[in-house]
Amino acid sequence: MWKKILNDIPAEVANRDEAINEWFDVYKMQAPWLDYIYRTVDGRTRKRRRLTMNMAKVSCAELNSLVFSEPPEYKGNQKVLDVLEANDFTKNLTELSEYTLALGGGAMKVRSDGESILIDFVKAQNFVPLSWDNTRVTDAHFVSNLVQGDKKLMLVETHRKTDGGYTITNKMYDRTTNQKVSLPDDIEKEVFIATAVPLFAYIRPHVANNFDPESPLGVSIYANAMDTLKALDIAFDSLNSEMVLGKKRIIVPEGAIRSVIGEDGKPTKYFDPTDEVFVGLNIDEDNSLQIQDNSVELRIEEIKLAIQTLLDIYAIQIGFSRGHFSFDGGQVKTATEVISDNSKTFKTKRNIENNYKRGIIDLMDAIAELENVSDENDVEFDDSVIEDRNSKAMYWINLFSAGLVDKETAIREIHGLDDKDAKAMADKLAVNTSNPFPFE
């Protein structure tokens, strides 16, 4: 819609809405390959909708749960931290993150309502970059679709860098006529804010944009795996079709299904006409009275193997380790197995965290500008829940046994203690046990 109204869109982002809509359709279980037309034996064409595994949604949710397995720790001026808490930042960021993984990006924008600082969380389809450099997007449109009575409206909020700060302009359009309309009384036409940094931050997944390398926008984590997602849905639908088409069928003479008038004048059927197991067949040969079991052997295991193979391919394409997704009755790998069993998955998680970290710090810097406080901000993602604690413990035990670290260091790393508490535990163990260090 905004392409019909806005005429200042850079060529690098002008057509990206088509890709975002395609990725969003797959995420919403509205992939174009789910509905298809086929021809039956009687020559008629029919429409059918395939079943879907919806692996696009599953994979985004899984990766997002790994990134936010524990709430990040924010460090900075208390006023900045208070704004984050007041806006329930971690919860809203976690939700935005899943859309970001699916749609290739997302944005966070700060604004003031006159009393407090608010944070808006913007999905990819509502964010239009205008200018950027090697580090970040500097100018952008923010598009919001509104409904007022029977009118469908679109609000365009534009952030442009000017001398000494940023100029924010607001325009409203009628989505039916594409004509500009008056702004509501509570929205100012233009506002200047003296700030050295943009009042928004753009975040994106770890995947490089191989569709348009010159664009500042990211791509969906499954943008390069659309064919595999289609094959997965076809295979999954085939599993259901195998159960339906391969159900038990017994061929009986057609005459046995017809009604026979008995001596009492009432019709009698030899077989229940509502039973789908029996199929009548008109045969004129001598053996036509024979009843034949025409059931076929189901190909369940073959289809399951095909689905598992496709899942392994899909996992590699989106940055997970092979075997992370399972279709053989087992469960998806838990977070505590990511480092020991799925190092590729862990690296992908770390790459996304690094991308998010820069965006979060940029947003915190913008809040610090508005609050006129120090901008020494930082954020740390907690990976402790994802680590395999047994592997970590054995790693430090082996180092101590080889004489490469002292016992206080090993205890500190295994239990996550500071130097003082680690030494106190080592001294206590030395006093209370015959072995001064239990794993020595």
Domain boundary among 224, 246, 273: 224
CA 83 to chain centre: 27
Give the predicted TM-score (pTM) of the model: 0.77
Domain boundary among 183, 203, 224: 224
Report whether pLDDT(230) > 50.
Answer: yes
Domain boundary among 163, 197, 224: 224
State how many domains the chain has. 2
Q: Choose the weakest-confidence range: 78-82, 212-216, 257-261, 423-427.
A: 257-261
Residue 436 falls within a domain, yes or no? yes
Alpha-carbon dihedral of residues 173, 178, 179, 181, nearest 10 degrees? Answer: -20
Residue 27 falls within a domain, yes or no? yes
Instruction: Give the pLDDT of residue 37.
Output: 87
Report whether pLDDT(400) > 50.
Answer: yes
Residue 110 falls within a domain, yes or no? yes
Contact 90, 117 (CB under 8 A): no
Report whether pLDDT(331) > 50.
Answer: no
What pLDDT, in 10s, does the model give residues 239-279? Answer: 877 766 655 555 556 555 556 566 666 665 555 555 444 44
Residue 65 falls within a domain, yes or no? yes
For 132-141, what is the mean pLDDT? 90
Measured N-to-C along each axis, helices 89-103 and 78-86 cross at an angle, to the nearest 10 degrees, of 70
Instruction: Give the pLDDT of residue 325.
Output: 87
Report whether pLDDT(74) > 90.
Answer: yes
Residue 380 falls within a domain, yes or no? no
Domain that holds residue 424: 388-440
Residue 281 falls within a domain, yes or no? no
Residue 213 falls within a domain, yes or no? yes
SS (H, E, C) the chain: CHHHHCCCCCCCCCCHHHHHHHHHHHHCCCCCCCEEEEECCCCCEEEEECCCCCHHHHHHHHHHHHHCCCCCEEECCHHHHHHHHHCCHHHHHHHHHHHHHHHCCEEEEEEECCCCEEEEEEEHHHEEEEEECCCCEEEEEEEEEEEECCEEEEEEEEEEEECCEEEEEEEEEECCCCCEECCCCCCCCEEEECCCCCCEEEECCCCCCCCCCCCCCCCCCCHHHHHHHHHHHHHHHHHHHHHHHCCCCEEEEHHHHCCEECCCCCEECCCCCCCCCEEEECCCCHHHHCCEECCCCCCHHHHHHHHHHHHHHHHHHCCCCCCCCCCCCCCCCCHHHHHHHCHHHHHHHHHHHHHHHHHHHHHHHHHHHHHCCCCCCEEECCCCCCCCHHHHHHHHHHHHHCCCCCHHHHHHHHHCCCHHHHHHHHHHHHHHCCCCCCCC
Instruction: Give the pLDDT of residue 114.
Output: 79
For 395-403, what is the mean pLDDT? 86
Q: Token pair 């899942």 is at which residue?
A: 311
Residue 256 falls within a domain, yes or no? no
